[in-house]
């Protein structure tokens, strides 16, 4: 379920919301629907096969979590 960042055009309040399919986001401060969706960076955290943490940015390969394609099998 995606969490989106918004800025209200009416009161300038910035907030994050967990949005389900078909829901319309509403500012929690002034109840306005007049919002700008902010661009957010994607981040992830997972465990590799050897249980060392891999987190942060996307890897060099789109099919694995390695940051170095020479580690691909």
For residue 37, the surrounding DSSP H or E stretch is strand 35-37
**Report field, pTM of the whole predicted structure over 0.75:** no
What is the phi/psi pair of residue 44, to 5°?
-150, 165
How high is the pLDDT of residue 29?
97
How high is the pLDDT of residue 65?
59
Give the tokens for residue 26: 């509403």
| Nearby residues of 26 by Cβ (< 8 Å), 6 or more positions away | 32, 33
Distance CA 20, CA 32 (A): 18
pLDDT tens, per residue, the chain with 73 residues: 578 899 999 999 999 998 888 899 999 999 999 999 987 666 666 665 554 444 444 444 555 655 666 655 4
Nearest to 5 by CA among 31, 37, 28, 41: 37
How high is the pLDDT of residue 34?
97
How high is the pLDDT of residue 45?
61
């Amino acid at each position: 379920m995606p969490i989106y960042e918004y800025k209200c055009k009416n009161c300038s309040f910035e907030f994050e919301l967990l949005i389900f399919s078909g829901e319309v986001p509403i500012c929690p401060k002034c109840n306005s629907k007049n919002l700008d969706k902010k661009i957010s960076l994607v981040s992830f955290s997972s465990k590799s096969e050897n249980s060392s943490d891999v987190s942060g940015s996307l890897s060099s390969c789109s099919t694995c979590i390695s940051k170095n394609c020479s580690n691909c099998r």
